[in-house]
Amino acid sequence: MACVNTVLGPIHPDELGVTATHEHILWGPPGWEYDPEWWFHPPKVFAKCLADLVEYRELGGTTVVCCSGIGLGRDVELYRMLSRYSGVHIIAASGFHEGRNISPHFQDKSIDEMAALFEHEVSAGIGDSGVKAGFIKVGHGHYDISELEEREHRAAARAARRTGCAIITHGAWFGLQELEIFASEGLDLSRVVVSHCSSANVMDIERDKAMAGMGAFCSYDTFTIEPTWNVGSYAGDDERKADLVKAFIDAGHIDRLILSSDVNLFSLGWTRSSPYTGKTTMADMLRYLPGVLRRVGISESTFWKVMTENPKKVLPIE
């Protein structure tokens, strides 16, 4: 009996509707609260996120998957308020991010301790809130999969096998190596979403086809980031990303395609966009992405079908 754990309780997969599979409501490396430069006025941030989610819902979106892991901006009570007062289902994440963004408390935990933590958050609940995490987030840095990150991957794989939940990764730089680690742990690769396949510096259609062949989902989720935003590996003009998606669909892997925009409604301790670019939200993706894809020959109905059907294949927990 499949279910999807949202912050307001489990729902039936049919209720997912249009789902943005790799978004962030709040995201920031742990420890930002120790840096007074980045303090903010909490109610203004809540009001801003609420307005963005309401706009997302008005444009047809029903579900947002917040991929902020433990200590990386996940705030379950805030998500419950946002979900309740905007009508959008929000799915919270367990797991971490890349190695250096794992909080110091968890850095020397063993594989089994991390697996127990993830399993607890998905099956029992996050802290005292009684809210269950919907999936596990892992990630790796730009240069390699470090020892800590490999531990995190193996722990996530074991927890995912025990709980039946999905794994969403950060970073496609070493996507194939990640899938080998998951396969060595005996995880069914159709439960894995490899994200940021459309990062500027790592577009590689052969790798994506190989991953899709192994059953994993490829998430092209850095679309609405303005090309002028320079730093980091996500920028890059959207036309090249749209061509990549078209090639992926032409290769017959449309059922392994995930589209999203990896925006931060509010960044904790850093700023997602420089002063020269606007602040995009998921609503901008629903407004902007169909046009970008239509120009490379992908119809709008295909876009809405992908946004509705594919997340329903990966997010539900058996």
Partner 1 sequence: MAHLNTVLGTLHPEEMGITAVHEHILFGPPGWEADPGAWFKMGKVFEKCYNDLMDFKLQGGATFIDASGIGSGRELDVHIKLASATGLHVVASTGFLGELFTAPHFHARDADYFETLFVHELTVGMGRTRVKAGVINAGGGAQPMTRLEAAQHRGAARAARKTGAAVMTHAINALDEQLAIFREEKLDPARIILGGCDTRLDLERDKRVAKAGCYVAYDHVGLESWSRMAHALPDQRRAELVKAMLDAGLGDRLIVSAGSSGWVLGQGEDHLSNVGNVLRYFVPRLAAAGVAEADVRRIFADNPKRVLPIQ
Partner 2 sequence: MAITVNGPVPDDRLGIVAAHEHLLYGLPGWHDDPAVLFDRPKVFDALLAALREFKAAGGNSLMDASGTLCGRDPEFLKALSAAAGINIIASCGLGAQELIPGYFGLPLAERALREQRRDGEPPLWIPDAGYIGGMLGAEMSDGMPMAGMVRSRACAGFVLCACSAQPASEIEEMAIRGAAMAARRHDVPLRLEGGAHAPRLFPLITAEGLAAGRVVIGHCDDARCLDSARDRELASQGAYVAYDHVGWQDGSPHAMPDAQRVQQVKDMVAAGYAERVLLSCGTVGCGLGVPASKHGVSHLLKDFVPRLSGAGVGDSALHTLLVENPRRLFAQL
Partner 3 sequence: MKVETLTGPVAPQDLGIVAMREHLLLGRHGWHWAPEVRFDRAAAFESVLARLEAFKKRGGGTLVDASGITLGRNVPFYRRLSELSGVHIVASTGFGEQSSSIPGHFLGRAYRVSTDARQHWVREIPGHFYSSHGESKEYLMFLFYNELTEGMAAPCMIRTGIKAGIVQTGSAWDGVSRLEEFSIRAAAMAARHAGVSVITTSAGQARRHFELLSAEGLEAQRIVIGHCDDARAVDLGRDRSFAEKGAYVAYDHIGWEKDAPHAMADDERVALVKAMVQAGYAERVVLSSSAVGAAMGLPASSHGYERLLADFVPRLDRAGIGEAVLETLLVDTPRRLLAASQDEEAAEQLRAFAEGFRSASRQQRWDV
Which lies closer to partner 1 via its Cβ, residue 42 or residue 213?
Answer: 42
Cβ nearer to partner 1, comparing 78 with 172: 78
Verify binding: residue 15, partner 2, rule CB under 8 A: yes
Q: Which stretch binds partner 1 (CB under 8 A): 60-68, 76-84, 136-144, 153-161?
A: 76-84
Q: Quick one: which of 13, 106, 180, 210 contacts partner 3 (CB under 8 A)?
A: 106
Size of the site for partner 2 (CB under 8 A): 20
Q: Which of residues 54-83 bind partner 2 (CB under 8 A)?
A: 54, 57, 62, 83
d(CA 136, CA 159): 8
**How is residue 43 written in tokens?**
């109610």
Is residue 298 near partner 2 by the rule CB under 8 A? no
Least gap, CB of 43 to partner 1 (angstroms) = 3
Position 78 contacts partner 1 (CB under 8 A): yes
Hey, CA dihedral for 177, 182, 186, 189, is it positive or negative? negative
Question: Closest by alpha carbon to 167, among 148, 145, 199, 139?
Answer: 139
Select from partner 1, partner 3, partner 2, none the partner in contact with residue 117, using the beta carbon and a kind-dependent cut-off of 5 to 8 Å.
partner 3
| Number of chain positions touching partner 1 (CB under 8 A) | 18
State the sign of the Cα–Cα–Cα–Cα dihedral 18, 189, 120, 74.
Answer: negative
Stretch that binds partner 2, among 7-15, 193-201, 240-248, 261-269 (CB under 8 A): 7-15
Residues in contact with partner 2 by CB under 8 A are 1-4, 9-15, 17, 54, 57, 62, 83-87
Chain residues binding partner 1 by CB under 8 A are: 9, 42-44, 46-48, 50-51, 77-78, 80-81, 84-85, 128-130
Instruction: List interacting residues with partner 3 (CB under 8 A).
Output: 28-42, 44-45, 48, 70-72, 97, 100-108, 117, 120-121, 124, 127, 142-143, 200-201, 230-231, 233, 266-267, 269-271, 273-276, 279
